Amino acid sequence: MKSDIRIALVGNPNTGKSTLFNVLTGLNQKIGNFPGVTIDKKLGYCTLPDGRTAEIIDLPGTYSLYPKSRDEAIVFSVLADRHNELTPDLVVIILDATNLKRNLLLYTQVADLKIPVVIALNMMDMAKKADITIDVNAFAQKLGVPVVPISARKIAGIENLKQTIAYANKIPLQQDSIDVEAIAPQLISRIKAEINTDNTYFALQLAHQHETLKFLTAGQSNTIEELEKEFGFHSQKAQATETIARYNYINDLLYDTVQKSATAEDETMSNKIDKVLTHKVFGFIIFFGILLFIFQSIFAWSAYPMSLITDGFVWLQTALHQYLPAGPLTNLLVDGVVAGLSGVMVFIPQIAILFAFISILEDTGYMSRVTFMMDKIMRKVGLNGKSVVPLIGGFACAVPSIMSTRTIENWKDRMITILVTPLITCSARLPVYTLLISLVVPNKNVWWIFNMQGLALTAMYMFSMVSAVVVAWVFKYILKARERGYFIMELPVYRTPRWNNVLHSMYDRAKTFVFEAGKVIVAVSIILWVLASYGPGNQFNKIDQKYKQLQVAQAIPADSLNRMIASEKLENSYAGMLGHVIEPAIKPLGFDWKIGIALITSFAAREVFVGTMATMYSVNGNAEKMESVQQKMHSARNAETGQPVFTLAVAMSLMMFYAFAMQCASTVAVVYRETKNWRWPAIQFAYMTVLAYVASFITYHLLK
Partner 1 sequence: MYLPAFYKKLQIDTFFLFGFNLNKVYICAVIKHQMKLSQLKVGEKGTVKEFTDLEMSVKLMEMGCLPGEVIKVERIAPLGDPIAINVAGYQLSLRKREASTIILQ
Of the pair 270, 310, the CB lying nearest partner 1 is at 270
Query: Does 255 help bind partner 1 (rule: CB under 8 A)?
Result: no
Query: Does 239 help bind partner 1 (rule: CB under 8 A)?
Result: yes
Query: Does 283 help bind partner 1 (rule: CB under 8 A)?
Result: yes
Phi, psi of 133, deg, nearest 5? -105, 130
Q: Which of 107, 4, 13 is closest to 58 using CA atoms? A: 13
Q: Which of 123, 129, 34 is closest to 78 using CA atoms? A: 34
Buried b (16+ CB within 10 A) or exposed e, 432-462: bbbbbbbbbbeeeeeeeeeeebeebbeebee
Select the residue interacting with partner 1 from 101, 154, 701, 704 (CB under 8 A): 101
Of the pair 275, 676, the CB lying nearest partner 1 is at 275
Query: Does 240 help bind partner 1 (rule: CB under 8 A)?
Result: yes
Q: Which of 465, 400, 383 is closest to 671 using CA atoms? A: 400
Cβ-contact 133, 258 below 8 angstroms: yes
Select the residue interacting with partner 1 from 22, 98, 342, 601 (CB under 8 A): 98
How many residues does this entry show for the chain?
A: 704
Minimum gap (Å) between residue 329 Cβ and partner 1: 60
Distance CA 542, CA 533 (A): 15
The 3-state DSSP class for residue 680 equals helix
Query: Does 490 help bind partner 1 (rule: CB under 8 A)?
Result: yes
Alpha-carbon distance values, 340 to 229, 519, 524, 527, 538 (Å):
57, 9, 8, 10, 27
Of the pair 68, 114, the CB lying nearest partner 1 is at 68
Select the residue interacting with partner 1 from 2, 229, 232, 236 (CB under 8 A): 236
Beta bridge partners of 254: none
Minimum gap (Å) between residue 88 Cβ and partner 1: 23
Of the pair 269, 308, the CB lying nearest partner 1 is at 269
Distance CA 476, CA 351 (A): 28
**Binding residues among 526-565 for partner 1 as defined by CB under 8 A:** none
Select the residue interacting with partner 1 from 3, 163, 223, 243 (CB under 8 A): 243
Minimum gap (Å) between residue 704 Cβ and partner 1: 44
Of the pair 487, 499, the CB lying nearest partner 1 is at 487
Of the pair 11, 349, the CB lying nearest partner 1 is at 11
Select the residue interacting with partner 1 from 231, 295, 301, 372 (CB under 8 A): 372
Q: Of the listed pieces 173-181, 488-496, 529-537, 629-637, which binds partner 1 according to CB under 8 A?
A: 488-496
Q: Of the listed pieces 3-11, 217-225, 484-492, 581-589, which binds partner 1 according to CB under 8 A?
A: 484-492
Q: How many angstroms from the chain centroid is the CA of residue 304? A: 24
Query: Does 122 help bind partner 1 (rule: CB under 8 A)?
Result: no
Query: Does 199 help bind partner 1 (rule: CB under 8 A)?
Result: no
Q: Which amino acid is at 131?
A: D
Buried b (16+ CB within 10 A) or exposed e, 171-199: ebebeebbebeebbeebbebbbebbeeeb
Name residues whose C-beta falls within 8 Å of residue 338's C-beta, 6 or more positions apart in sequence. Answer: 313, 316, 317, 320
Minimum gap (Å) between residue 492 Cβ and partner 1: 8
Select the residue interacting with partner 1 from 487, 499, 515, 678 (CB under 8 A): 487
Query: Does 11 help bind partner 1 (rule: CB under 8 A)?
Result: no
Cβ-contact 334, 317 below 8 angstroms: yes
The site map against partner 1 for 284-303 (x = CB under 8 A) is x-------------------
Query: Does 473 help bind partner 1 (rule: CB under 8 A)?
Result: no
Query: Does 703 help bind partner 1 (rule: CB under 8 A)?
Result: no
The site map against partner 1 for 14-43 (x = CB under 8 A) is ------------------------------
Select the residue interacting with partner 1 from 173, 182, 193, 264 (CB under 8 A): 264
Longest alpha-carbon distance in the chain = 102
User: In sequence order, what DSSP letters do the residues of 133-200 get, joined into one string?
Assistant: EE-HHHHHHHHTS-EEE-BTTTTBSHHHHHHHHHT--SS--PPP-S-GGGGSHHHHHHHHHHHT---H
Of the pair 279, 546, the CB lying nearest partner 1 is at 279
Query: Does 99 help bind partner 1 (rule: CB under 8 A)?
Result: yes
Question: Around 142, how many Cα atoms within 13 Å sit in the side-chain half-sphere?
Answer: 18
Residue 321 neighbours by CB distance under 10 Å? 15
**Binding residues among 49-78 for partner 1 as defined by CB under 8 A:** 63-64, 66, 68
Minimum gap (Å) between residue 243 Cβ and partner 1: 5
Let me know the angle formed at the C-alpha of 356 by 354 and 359, rounded to the nearest 5 degrees. Answer: 105
Q: Which of 274, 13, 225 is closest to 122 using CA atoms? A: 13
Cβ-contact 618, 566 below 8 angstroms: yes
Minimum gap (Å) between residue 453 Cβ and partner 1: 36
**Binding residues among 594-623 for partner 1 as defined by CB under 8 A:** none
Select the residue interacting with partner 1 from 376, 444, 480, 679 (CB under 8 A): 376
Query: Does 279 help bind partner 1 (rule: CB under 8 A)?
Result: yes
Q: With contacts defined by CB under 8 A, how many residues of the chain interact with partner 1?
A: 43
Query: Does 399 help bind partner 1 (rule: CB under 8 A)?
Result: no
Query: Does 489 help bind partner 1 (rule: CB under 8 A)?
Result: yes
Alpha-carbon distance values, 609 to 332, 580, 596, 602, 704 (Å):
21, 17, 10, 5, 23
Query: Does 482 help bind partner 1 (rule: CB under 8 A)?
Result: no
Cβ-contact 399, 349 below 8 angstroms: no
Select the residue interacting with partner 1 from 271, 445, 638, 677 (CB under 8 A): 271
Minimum gap (Å) between residue 484 Cβ and partner 1: 7
User: In sequence order, what DSSP letters do the residues of 97-115 get, joined into one string?
Assistant: GGGHHHHHHHHHHHHHTT-
Residues of this chain that interact with partner 1 (CB under 8 A) are 63-64, 66, 68, 98-99, 101-102, 105, 236-237, 239-240, 243-244, 247, 260, 264, 270-271, 274-275, 278-280, 283-284, 368, 371-373, 375-377, 484, 486-493
